[in-house]
Structure 1
C-alpha cells in the first residue's frame, strides 16, 4: 500500500487501461487514493508489491492477458499473500501456494494485483450477518453510495471493479456471492458451470455448489478472464469434464445477436419493487426489439428447495472447511470448524462485534451422511430436474431471465442484511451448478441493478454471448461511481 496516497487529480487515467506496468501502477494509485484514503472503500485487503514488474514481464512475453491486473477474493490462495477468508484466525495463512486457477491466470499473462475483502467465511457464519464485513477488512462500501451495501460474499471484488481499482477481479459463489455483488455494484459477474474452474486451495463451503468466477466491467472482459482461469484439475474431481468444454469464451461476442433466440421471462421472480419492475420491462423490450422471442414463465420455487439446500451447505461446510484447515501448510491456530468456533469465542471483541456464529455452531452438529445424501438428491431434483432443466425444456427456451436482485440496501450492523422484494432466481443455478450471468441492466435512483441470464450445464459460452448481445442493445443508462 502507498504510504502517501496521491491526490485524485494526479492519478493516471485507467480509462481503457488493460495490461502492462503503467496500468498496474495506475490501478495501485487508485487503490491508494480511493480504497485506503478518500471514501476508504475497504474493497482491497492487500496489494502485491511486485505487481508492476510482473505486469511488464507478462506484457513483454506476449501472453494472452498481456499483464492485465486481477484482484483476487481473499479466500483464494495466491503465493505472495496470506489467504484469510476475512478471519483474523487465518491472518497467518501464508501457504506459499497458488490455487490452480491462479496458476492458470499467471500462465495466461494475468497479474495478481492484490486480495479483496469479502463477507467473512464467504457469508456462511451467521443468520444475522452483514454482507461485506470481515474481521480482517472491516466493512466494504458500495462505491455508488458508500452508505449502501456491496453485497456478499464477493463484496470487495464487486466494489473494486466498479471503482476501477483493477482491470478485473475473481469472486467465488456458493449461492449468489458473485451475482449479487455484481448486480448492486453495477458490474458483470459470471458464475460458471460448477466444475469449469478448479476449487483446489480455495477456502470452501460446499463442494456441491462452490465455484470461482470472473467479475469485470464488460462481458468481453469477463469472458477473457474466464479463458485464463478455466480448466481441469486432477485434485478436483468436479473439473474432470472441464477441458472438454473449454472454448474461446470471447469468440462471437462482438457480433452476438438475440435474433430468434427464445428467452423465458421468470415473471414471478421479478419481485414487487416498481422501479426494478419498470427497468426489467425495459430490458425485456430491448431484447424483443433485437429479435428475441419472449416467453413468459409461471414458476414458484418450492419451499422444500431452500431447506434441502441449506442442509447440504451445513453438512459440507463442516467437512470441507475442516479438510482445508487441516491441510494448510501454514502455521495457523485452527484446524477444524470446531477450532474456528472456539477461536471466535476467545476473540469475540474482534470477531463477533458485528454478528454471531449461529450457522457455524449449527454446522458443527451436522454429521448425518444419510441426511446429506437425501438433502442433496432433493435439492438437485427440485432445482434442476423439476426446476431449471424442466423450465428450459417445457417452454422450449434457451435461457431464463429475471432481475438479479434489488438495489443496494443500507449497511446496517444492527438489523443486518435487507433482501426485500423476492427478486431473482439465482438459487436454481446455484444448486444446479449451472451458469448464471449478471449484466448491468440500468439504475434505480442512481443505484445499479443487474439482469440475470441462466442457461443449462456447460452452456457457459452461449450465456456469455447472450449477455454481450443484451449489453449491445441495452437502452437504459447504467450508473457509474462518482469517486
Structure 2
C-alpha cells in the first residue's frame, strides 16, 4: 500500500506523521517536479508515503532520475546520485550499527511541548543507542559567511530566516517569503496546459477560489504578478537597502546556499550520518481546532536547504495518538536515511493499524484490480 505526496512545506511529512506512516521528502533535484501544480517550484518536490520503509524504498526506486522537462534533475544525474540496483539494497536490519546521529534539541518549544511526546522521543534515542548508534545530543547548526550570527530554529523570527550583515548593520532576512514565486510558477504551469485560466490574475478575477485563499492569492498577485520572474529578486532597490536573500532556489539564493552549507559542514565536522528530531511535539489536533499548539517542530530545513527528510512512527503518546521521528541527511543521502529508518523499524515494529481503521487487505468494495497489459 503506497501513495504519493507533494511537499512544499510539509505535505509528505505531516500527513505521514499524523497517520502513523512512513514518508520521504527527497533531495531537491532527485525526483522530477514536472506535472506538479506549483506553489513554489524552488521548494516543491514529490515523494512516497507508505506503511513500511520497504514500501517507500520500492516506490522511490521508480520515481528518481533525470527528466529532460525538469532541469533541476540534471544536478543529481551529474553527480551519479541515483544508485544502481535501486534503494531496497540499503534496507539492512542492523542499519543503525555504527551510525552517528545528532539530535536537534533546540528545534522545539519546551514550554508548549507535550511531555508524553518527549517521553516517546527520548525513549527512541535510547533505542538508537541500544541498536549500536552513537547519539550526539543538542547539535548546533553553525557557520554563516553572510553575517555575524548563526542560524537557529527556536523562535518564529529565526526559524525561517537567515542573518545577513555584520555588527549593528546585521539583520534577519526571510528565506521563506517570496510571493512572486506562486504567481510566476503557477502562470508557467497554466500556460502549458489546456486550462481556462492561464495565470493567477485570471483566477483572482474569476472569484472561483475558497475565501480562505483570498489573502495569499492577492498578496502573491500584488507582490509578484507582472514583475518579471523570481530571478529579479532582490530588486535593485532591495539590494540598495541591503537585502541579500531573494527568491532563488537552494543553488541560487545566497541565504539558502548558506543554510545548506551550514547543515552539511556541521554534520561533517562531527562525523554525523544524520540528524533527528520529533516531527511534532504535540498530539494531532482535531479538524477546525485553530487554538491548540500544533507542535510543528521544523519544516523549513528540507524545503529551503534541499536536503532529504524521512519521517516514521516512533510510538504512541498518552492519548494513543501517533508520534513521528524526522531524520535529516545530506543531499542525496537517501540510502543512509533508508538504512537508519529500516534498522529502527525492524528493531521496534511500532507501527500498527489504528483500531477504528483496520488495515486494508484488498481493493475497496466496488473496485477490482485489473492486471496491466502491454
Give the TM bin, normalised by the shorter chain.
0.7 to 0.9
- Provide the rounded CA distance (Å) in 2 between the counterparts of 1:270 and 1:311: 21
In the alignment, what sits opposite 1:22? none
2: CA distance between counterparts of 1:320 and 1:455?
A: 28
Q: What residue number does 2:188 align with?
A: 323
On the 8 A contact 1:198/1:211 being kept in 2, the answer is: yes
Would the alpha carbon gap of residues 333 and 416 (structure 1) be closer, same or farther in structure 2, given more than 3 Å must change?
Answer: farther
Match of 1:310 among 168, 172, 176: 176
Deviation per CA, 1:235-273, whole angstroms, max 9, x where unpaired?
111000334221211103143421121100111125421
1:467 and 2:333 are equivalent in the alignment? no
**8 A Cα contact 1:209 1:430, kept in partner:** yes
Kindly indicate whether residue 146 of structure 2 is the aligned counterpart of residue 288 of structure 1.
no
Match of 2:81 among 231, 238, 245: 245
Structure having the larger proportion of residues in helix: 1
Structure-2 change in CA distance of 1:296 and 1:181 (3 Å): same
Counterpart for residue 391 of structure 1? 266
Partner-residue secondary structure (3-state), 1:366: helix
CA contact (8 A) 1:305 1:383 kept: no
1:227 Cα deviation from its structure 2 partner = 0.6
CA 1:477–1:321: 2 relative to 1, 3 Å: closer
CA distance, structure 2, for counterparts of residue 469 and residue 333 of structure 1: 49
Q: Which of structures 1 and 2 has the larger relative contact order (alpha carbons within 8 angstroms, sep 6+)? A: 2
Correspondence for 1:433 among 306, 310, 313: 306
Unaligned 5+ residue runs, structure 2? 141-151, 162-173, 236-243, 358-374
1:109-148 per-position Cα deviation (integer Å, ceiling 9, x unaligned): xxxxxxxxxxxxxxxxxxxxxxxxxxxxxxxxxxxxxxxx
The question of whether the paired residues in 2 share the 8 Å contact of 1:442 and 1:479 is answered with no
Aligned to 1:340: 203
Paired residues of 1:447 and 1:479 also in contact (CA < 8 A): no
Separation of aligned partners in 1, 2:353 and 2:121? 15
| Secondary structure of residue in 2 paired with 1:409 | coil
SS at match of 2:287: coil
Q: Report how far residue 356 of structure 1 moved.
A: 3.8
Q: Distance in 2 between matches of 1:409 and 1:285?
A: 27
Query: RMSD of the TM alignment (CA)?
Result: 2.2
Where does the alignment leave 5 or more consecutive residues of structure 1 unmatched?
A: 1-166
Correspondence list, 1:54-453, <5 A: 167-243=1-77, 244-247=80-83, 248-271=86-109, 272-299=113-140, 300-301=152-153, 303-304=157-158, 306=160, 308-312=174-178, 314-328=179-193, 330=194, 332-343=195-206, 345=207, 347=208, 351-352=210-211, 355-367=212-224, 369-371=232-234, 374-375=245-246, 376=248, 377-381=253-257, 383-386=259-262, 388-405=263-280, 406-412=282-288, 416=290, 419-421=293-295, 423-444=296-317, 445-453=319-327
Aligned residue in 2 for 1:111: none
Closer/same/farther in 2, CA of residues 241 and 187 from structure 1, 3 Å limit:
same
1:215 is paired with a residue of what secondary structure? Answer: strand
Whole-Å Cα distance in 1 between the matches of residues 199 and 323 of structure 2?
A: 38
Instruction: Mark the CA change 1:384 to 1:241 in structure 2 (over 3 Å): closer, same or farther.
Output: closer
Cα distance change, pair 416–323 in 1 and its aligned pair in 2 (3 A): farther
Give me the whole-angstrom Cα distance separating, in 2, the residues matched to 1:360 and 1:481: 40
Q: TM-score w.r.t. structure 1 length?
A: 0.59
2 CA distance for matches of 1:451 and 1:394? 24
TM-score, normalising length: structure 2: 0.75
What is the rounded CA distance, in whole Å, between the counterparts of 1:242 and 1:390 in structure 2?
Answer: 20
* CA separation of 1:325 and 1:218: change in aligned 2, threshold 3 A: same
SS at match of 2:23: strand
Q: State the alpha-carbon separation in 1 of the partners of residues 131 and 103 from structure 2.
A: 16
Q: For the residues of structure 2 that align with 1:304 and 1:269, how far apart are their CA atoms?
A: 11
| Larger mean Cα displacement after TM superposition, 193-202 or 269-278 | 269-278
How many residue pairs match? The answer is 304
Distance change (3 Å), C-alpha of 1:431 and 1:176: same
